[in-house]
Structures are given as C-alpha cells and as structure tokens.
Amino acid sequence: MYVPPKIVTNKDLEPLVGTTDEWVRERTGIEQRHWVEGEVGASDLAYEASQAALDSAGLKAEDLDFIIFATLSPDYPFPGSGCLLQAKLGVPGIPTLDVRNQCSGFVYALAIADQFIRAGTYDRILVVGAEVQSTGLDLSPRGRNIAVLFGDGAGAVVLQATEGDHGILSTHLHADGRYAKELWLEDPGSRKRPRLTHEMIDSGSIYPKMNGREVFRHALIRFPEVIREGLEANGLTPDDVALVIPHQANQRITDAVAERLGLHDRVFSNIAKYGNTTGASIPIALHEAVQQGRIREGDIVVLAAFGAGFAWASAVIRW
C-alpha cells in the first residue's frame, strides 16, 4: 500500500467546509485522511503500491503478464491509468485494463484477474486500486457531506496461478444502474457540448454528489447479502470466516455488517486513518490486516464492497 505523506485531520477541514471534528467522527468514524500535494495522479500512488507488492512477492515488473487498474479518479480522461502505470514500471507490451467500478472496482478487478488466471491465459497479474480524490472535492460548505469522507491512496496485489485449495475461491459481482445518480460525478462528460463550461464550475456539477441516506440504506442490505452469497457458494457460514475486509465507507456501515452477520470483531476497519479511499480501500485494508497478523495461512477471508453504480461485489479467499 501507499498513501501520500500529508495528513489532513477533521480539524483541518472545519474552517474550509463548515464541519466539526465531532460530526465527522460520530457519523463516519473518520479521524484523518491522506491527501496528495502538487501534481500527483492515481498512477503515481499506484506505482508506489505496485513496487511494494512486487517486492513483497519477490518479483520484478518484468514477471507480470497483465496489469488491472481500478480507479474512479484516473490521471486523465484517457488513456487509462493502467497505461501510465505500465510505463512507470517499465514493462512496455504487456496489456493493461482500467476498471471503472468505483468503490467495488478492486473486487471487480480481482474477479477479472481470477478469470484470466483460471482460463490459463496469464500466470501473474498485478491488480491495483488507486485514487486521488482530494483534487476533485468541493472544499466549500456546499460540498461538506462528501469532502469530509474521501482520502487518497493506493493498494496492490500480485495474483499468481497456483495449485491446491488456497487462493481466490470465488467472486460475486452485481450492479443496479437504476441508482446511478444517487452517487455520481456528472461533469465533464461526453453528453455535454462543450464538455466543460464555466456554468458547470459555478454550479458545482464538476464535484461528486451523493444522496448519503439512500446509499447508506442500500449498503446495509447489499454488504451482508453479497458476503452471504459468497459464503454459501462455498458451503461456508459466517462462523468459518476469520476476517471480512469491507470497503471502508463508513464505520457505522462496517459495524452494522458485523452485527448482522454475527461477526463482531472479525470485520476489519481502518477508516479512522484513511477515510474512504474508494477503489484503494480494500487493498490498503488487506495489507494492514496481513501486517497486523490478522490473517493466517488457511484462513477464510472475505472481501466485500458496495458503492456508486450501484455496484457491489465479494470475493472469498482461502489464505
């Protein structure tokens, strides 16, 4: 994982967006987040996390067959950040793919990688989730419900073909586009002529918008549902789970998921330190869970995500 060095506390945001440290802690569990400074894009954060993943796997970028990059905050509208990361890693020629599934992007990316490996097409795939949210937030009172949530960061894994009963057991992907506008960034987009206008900037349509309560309500249903779906597909129950690593959206959502599945302290959380890093939150949490010794060989680990789209997903892993 990698997060930029600059820490922004809730107190730092108080004078900007008209919030309070108490409100943010109570409503979300967030205490601070990391934000980039200067011109830093998602591919820059991804590069650091990818190098760390390669180092920890004892591999070099030349060993990779494919790069899958989950982000809702690509460096540029095009080309994808996967291409930029590939150039930074110095491995021209191997394919790259950007996945645009927001908070569920990393689990979607993992599912794609898993299928390519199962099919025998590729042996080693870098899957990275990286976001720079801070440069796209409305840092005025108008944007406070969103600005306090998001953080910047990246996490990466290297997947490798393996024999035996460990690894990714199954992945489960869902979406419901009827709710696309409950959490979205409207402008600039291809429907508009021109794509970017002064009016868009003035009206704030260039900033993400969320119907927080509606998203929250669906999250409370979809997280437990997609975790159960993954467990049932493998003949498992919540009792078999060593750790659930959910997308870090809100501590209240994480607590409710733990409660509804009877998992208690077996749901990982680090939202207090990083806020919601969207596509990066699961690989960052996975890294910290491993570092903290929360995952042991043979453990059943479930990754689960819900977010914009709406899109939601889970992955069941035997470590």
Could you give the residue numbers annotated as active site? 103, 247, 276
Binding mask 131-170 for ligand UT7 (x = CB under 6 A): -------------xx--x----------------------
250 near ligand UT7 (CB under 6 A) = yes
307 binds ligand UT7 (CB under 6 A): yes
Nearest CA to 215 out of 175, 263, 242, 249 is that of 249
For ligand UT7, the closer CB: 118 or 217: 217
**Residue 116 has which token pair?**
């390519």
Residue placing its CB nearer to ligand UT7 in the complex, 179 or 216:
216
Show the site string, 267-286: x = touches ligand UT7 by CB under 6 A, - = not: ---------x----------
What sections of 134-280 are H helices per DSSP?
Answer: 144-147, 198-203, 212-233, 251-261, 271-274
Minimum separation from the CB atom of position 17 to ligand UT7 (A): 6
Question: Considering the complex, what minimum distance in angstroms separates the CB of residue 308 from ligand UT7?
Answer: 6
Considering only 45, 200, 249, 295, the residue that binds ligand UT7 (CB under 6 A) is 249
What lies within 8 Å, CB to CB, of 22 at 6+ separation is: none
Residues 13 to 52: which contact ligand UT7 by CB under 6 A?
Answer: 19, 23-24, 27-28
∠ CA 42-2-289, rounded to 5°? 125
75 Cβ neighbours under 8 A, 6+ residues apart: 41, 42, 43, 44, 81, 84
Segment holding 125, helix H or strand E: strand 124-131
Q: Report which residue's Cβ sits closest to ligand UT7.
A: 212
Q: Which amino acid is at 93?
A: G
